[in-house]
Amino acid sequence: MSLPKPTETSSAKILVVDDDGFMRMQLRVYLQKEGHRVELAENGQEALAKFAEIKPEVVLLDALMPVMDGFACCQALMDSYQNPSPLVLMITGLDDEASVDRAFEAGAIDYVTKPIHWAVLRQRVKRLLYQSRLQYQLESANQMLERLAKIDQLTQLANRRQLELFLDTEWSEAIREQYPFSVLLCDIDYFKNYNDYYGHQGGDSCLQKTAVALAKVVSRPKDLAARYGGEEFLIALPNTDLEGAVHIGEQIRREIAGLHIPHAQSAIADRVTLSIGCASTIPPHGSGWAQLVAKADKYLYQAKAEGRNRLVSGQLGEEPMG
């Protein structure tokens, strides 16, 4: 579970957990003077509920409390919230080696001892908030890298690697549930001629516009549009029969035609068009998705052989339909 985006160090949300009411008030007054927003809890169980509600950036946690002590509460927080873990500053009257080790083993980042030296507490909190910002930035960077690893940079569609992972997962589910699975393999007609005439920048623009059109039509959360390679795109349609896949394929062709992208070097039209191979099956046990994609590729080849700018479809193992 993700933690919240950190605020500036001058104004943070801090949860203070202590069974001593006077200590809670002291901590709240001091931290509020430092510009922080403070929430209070008086035992570990209450702290867990409050943490789930407000998602504080830092927890100041007393070690010894009734109901649930700080060590158990800290461990429970670490078990429930990971990557990044909560930032816990343990407050304890115990400064023996065993207690300090126990605090760190439970997941605390730092600790201060009672009676509290307020200047020390201020610096410890400031350091934890700085660490909170670094954690958030690292998590954001990792999420961005994970996203970049899944998409084709030019078209912003899924890349080949993500497509294959998707097909592995969804094909297995289709086998278990025995529902239909369809794929569309789309190719921009005479794209090499287009690239030669309009240049690579023009070709890239054409691919991007085509990708936007595909994403517009392929809008169900369960479906996936991916760049398959070069000017080819593959649409994976779990739980979609042949009729439904053909309907989506024809929608795509109409959407592309409606863009009116000029194509002076096409032998069949004055604008960009698509040829599509469509294959569908109910996956038999022990089968793989590669056979279905290969069949869609054969239908795509047939669509090109018959003059392009068309869709050829069929069930796996049956004759194609133009």
User: 3-state SS string over the chain?
Assistant: CCCCCCCCCCCCEEEEECCCHHHHHHHHHHHHHCCCEEEEECCHHHHHHHHHHHCCCEEEEECCCCCCCHHHHHHHHHHHCCCCCCEEEEEECCCCHHHHHHHHHHCCCEEEECCCCHHHHHHHHHHHHHHHHHHHHHHHHHHHHHHHCCECCCCCCECHHHHHHHHHHHHHHHHHHCCCEEEEEEEECCHHHHHHHHHHHHHHHHHHHHHHHHHHHCCCCCCEEEEEECCEEEEEEECCCHHHHHHHHHHHHHHHHHHCCECCCCCCCCECCEEEEEEEECCCCCCCCHHHHHHHHHHHHHHHHCCCCCEEEEECCCCCEC
Distance CA 76, CA 292 (A): 48
Which residue, among 272, 290, 219, has the nearest Cα to 248 in the 3D structure? 219
User: β-pairing, 311-315 with 274-281?
Assistant: parallel
Which residue in the list 34, 42, 170, 231 is annotated as catalytic?
A: 231
Mark whether 231 is an active-site residue. yes
Determine phi and psi for 8, rounding to 5 degrees: -65, 150
C-alpha separations of 94 from 47, 90, 136, 154 in Å = 21, 10, 32, 58
Any idea which residues carry the catalytic annotation? 231
